[in-house]
Structure 1
Amino acid sequence: MMIEIVENKLWVQRMKLTFFGLEIGTRMTVIRLAGDSLFIHSPISLDIKLKQELDRIGRVDFVVSPNKMHHFFIADYMQGYPAALVFASPGLPEKRKDVAFKYLLKDNPENQWAHYLGQKIFYCGEDFREVVFFHRETRTLIVADLIMNFRENTAFLTKLVLKVVGSYNKPISPVDTGLTANQKAMAAASLEYILGWDFDRIILAHGDIIETGGKKVLSELFFWLN
């Protein structure tokens, strides 16, 4: 069952996900725009129960894949919601040539959701590009892999490995500190833009949601870009 983060405005749904043998889980975010219109970020497997829940709370109009990793179930939503507009992240159409994408996420929001959501590509080279969103009304930053936050709810083996590498019980990011000067400059510009948004909460795909103090967390995590 979906968890309502902000009443009638913001929901999340988790599912199990194994990555290189480790259970890391993943999370989909659902945002209400105008009226019954729903915006789905990082879609998970669309089973009958989830579809019923989505149909109960509104109408799925937009589905977005925020980066090249969060795409596995995108075709399910194309089939389940043929009237919805499905947006690919930069580079995904080349990776998923089996999917006929008509729309591509850009560095600024589409007119259909610009009033509700800020949008920015966190870019530091071809290896990492993620489209980050900001829900103004709930002061929520929505990311996929830019930030991960594995805490007590983490599976035992995953927790053990994270402890060994020093990545447990704190926010982490896959963005490599060994960027070239040009890549670092691009990442710093992306970060500066995102930090200009008035967010407090961070919803992420992997690990625990950061309920408050999100801007400080993001700034401190990427201190090395300054």
Structure 2
Amino acid sequence: MTTLAFEPYAPLDVPKPLAPELWVIDGPEIRFGYVGLKVPFPTRMTVVRLPDGGLWLHSPTHPSEPLLEQLAALGPVRFLVAPNSLHYWWLPAWAARFPGAEVHAAPGLARKAKRPLPAHATLGDAPPPAWAEVLDQVLVPGSLLTEVDFFHRPTRTLILTDLIENFEPRRIRSRFWRLAMQLAGAADPDGKAPYDMQLSFLGRRRRLRAAVERMIAWAPERIALAHGRCYEADGVAELRRAFRWVL
């Protein structure tokens, strides 16, 4: 049995309210292959309940039976969203379990994915009519990573994936990985895009800056993150701090 590198954000597979009609769900730790290493990452999904009662799932985590039972109490699963070119692994399992749900994926994911994806619509720089009433979105194209970020207008919550990573050193059990996350620039309290990801935007900084400025203009109160501590207050200040390398 593999020893966990991170202290889990327990309880796992349980919706935790972050704002009205919006929850985060912490899932199991995974190992992501990168430059010959198996890098540990905690996983997290964000769930929004839309005005019609349907659920919008951002970066779905492992669909365990306890998690499916918890979600059933919130509403029917309507949308499955793979927000970038890294967060998609469990999408086929969710699509098989909920064949009536619409699948939406970041541009280019079909070319980069290491497993077959279900039929899906491609996310863009504007929300589709199905969720435009409550969610806005912005496309951030890159070479290493292309990501679509979302803004839940009713609660002024920004939903990011990997453009800000905010690992808490006190929750990293391994000294090696604790140092690695700090050297990568992705450690709380100064979480941001890891330095290798920042370098990948060198030729796309103008487009990235425009996207970040759009996020700031939304004036988010809080920011839901896929990795590490979320920001439950001072959203605009956290954006300016985390993206100072491009602003």
Q: Distance in 2 between matches of 1:166 and 1:145?
A: 13
Alpha-carbon distance change, 126 to 58 in structure 1, aligned in 2, over 3 angstroms: same
Aligned-residue offset at 1:197 = 0.5
Aligned-residue offset at 1:165 = 5.2
Alpha-carbon distance change, 185 to 164 in structure 1, aligned in 2, over 3 angstroms: closer
Q: Distance in 2 between matches of 1:94 and 1:121?
A: 17
Gaps of 5+ in 2: 1-13
The alignment status of 1:104 with 2:122, answered yes or no, reads yes
Q: Distance in 1 between matches of 2:75 and 2:204?
A: 40
User: For residue 25 of structure 2, what is the aligned residue in structure 1?
Assistant: 13
Alpha-carbon distance change, 161 to 126 in structure 1, aligned in 2, over 3 angstroms: closer
Gaps of 5+ in 1: none
Between 29-38 and 94-103, report the one with greater CA deviation: 94-103
Aligned-residue offset at 1:101 = 2.1
Structure 2 length normalisation: TM-score? Answer: 0.83
Alpha-carbon distance change, 22 to 34 in structure 1, aligned in 2, over 3 angstroms: same
User: For residue 219 of structure 1, what is the aligned residue in structure 2?
Assistant: 240
**Aligned-partner SS, 1:57:** coil
Q: Distance in 1 between matches of 2:217 and 2:42?
A: 29
Residue identity matched to 2:18: I
User: For residue 172 of structure 1, what is the aligned residue in structure 2?
Assistant: 192
Write out per-residue CA displacement over residues 40-85 of structure 1, whole angstroms, 9 at most, x where no aligned residue. Answer: 0000111111111111110110110000100000001111111000
Aligned-residue offset at 1:167 = 4.2
Aligned-residue offset at 1:178 = 6.6
User: For residue 192 of structure 1, what is the aligned residue in structure 2?
Assistant: 213
User: For residue 37 of structure 1, what is the aligned residue in structure 2?
Assistant: 54
Write out per-residue CA displacement over residues 108-147 of structure 1, whole angstroms, 9 at most, x where no aligned residue. Answer: 0010100100100123x33221000000111110011010
**Aligned-partner SS, 1:62:** strand
Does the aligned pair in 2 maintain the 1:177–1:224 contact within 8 Å? no
Alpha-carbon distance change, 163 to 194 in structure 1, aligned in 2, over 3 angstroms: closer
Does the aligned pair in 1 maintain the 2:95–2:103 contact within 8 Å? yes
Between 185-194 and 54-63, report the one with greater CA deviation: 185-194
The two structures, once aligned, show a CA RMSD in angstroms of 1.9
**Aligned-partner SS, 1:137:** helix
Map 1:37-56; keep pairs closer than 5 Å. Answer: 37-56=54-73
Does the aligned pair in 2 maintain the 1:46–1:76 contact within 8 Å? yes
User: For residue 114 of structure 1, what is the aligned residue in structure 2?
Assistant: 132
**Aligned-partner SS, 1:5:** strand
Q: Distance in 2 between matches of 1:178 and 1:70?
A: 18
Aligned-residue offset at 1:168 = 2.8
Q: Distance in 1 between matches of 2:18 and 2:186?
A: 26
Aligned-residue offset at 1:211 = 0.7
The number of equivalent residue pairs is 223
Residue identity matched to 1:184: R
Q: Choose from 162, 170, 187 the match for 2:181.
A: 162
Structure 1 length normalisation: TM-score? Answer: 0.91
Residue identity matched to 2:187: Y
Q: Choose from 9, 12, 16 the match for 1:3.
A: 16
